[in-house]
Amino acid sequence: MAEPRTRAAVECRMIAPQFVVPDVIAAAEYYRDVLGFRIRGYFLDPPIYAIVARDSVAIHFGKVDAGIATSPNIQRREGSIDAYIWVNDVDSLFAELKERGAKIVEPPTTQVYECYEMVVEDGFGFRLAFGMPVSSAPDAAAPS
């Protein structure tokens, strides 16, 4: 008698947020030049869509419809972000992004929810948090 086939549990592995912006080329170039992503491609001519990536993190940009404004979450809720990106070294990334001229909204800080993180804002107002568990952060990040 054959053994019953079991199905492996589904595992979600990544997410790629889509930010709707007035200029996908400007958005992609900002992420390349300031945040250290690489441009994976533009779609259509003139481009109405672009994808950038850094390591296993991808962000998509779609061109906003005429007459519609961008809508970062901060416009609807104080203190909100648009994407949370887990990293292995917040302090090194902070130094890199500061040197590249990124708009740092919050420098590396230990949060009450046990994450060591920083927040940056892109040229269209979208906010990205880069974080790591406090247990992985440098000793200086440990809560006092």
Q: 15-65: which CATH topology? A: 2,3-Dihydroxybiphenyl 1,2-Dioxygenase; domain 1 (3.10.180)
Model confidence at 138: pLDDT above 80: no
Rounded CA-CA distance 62/56 in Å is 20
Q: What is the pLDDT of residues 65-75, one digit of tens each?
A: 988 888 998 88
Rounded average pLDDT over 112-122:
96
Q: What percent of the chain has pLDDT over 90?
A: 74
Rounded CA-CA distance 75/106 in Å is 17
Coil, strand or helix at 137:
coil
Rounded average pLDDT over 83-90:
96
Neighbours of 31 (CB within 10 A): 24
Class for the domain spanning 79-144: alpha beta
Separation of CA 111 from chain center: 18
Domain spans of the chain, in order of start: 15-65, 79-144
Separation of CA 90 from chain center: 13
Considering the chain, what is the average pLDDT of its residues? 91
- Going by pLDDT thresholds of 50, 70 and 90, the confidence category of residue 90 is very high
Q: What is the pLDDT of residues 11-20, one digit of tens each?
A: 888 889 999 9
Model confidence at 21: pLDDT above 50: yes
Q: Is the pTM of this model over 0.75?
A: yes
Which of 47, 125, 128 lies closest to 87 in space, CA to CA? 128
Cβ-in-10-Å burial (0-12, 13-18, 19+) of 91 comes to middle
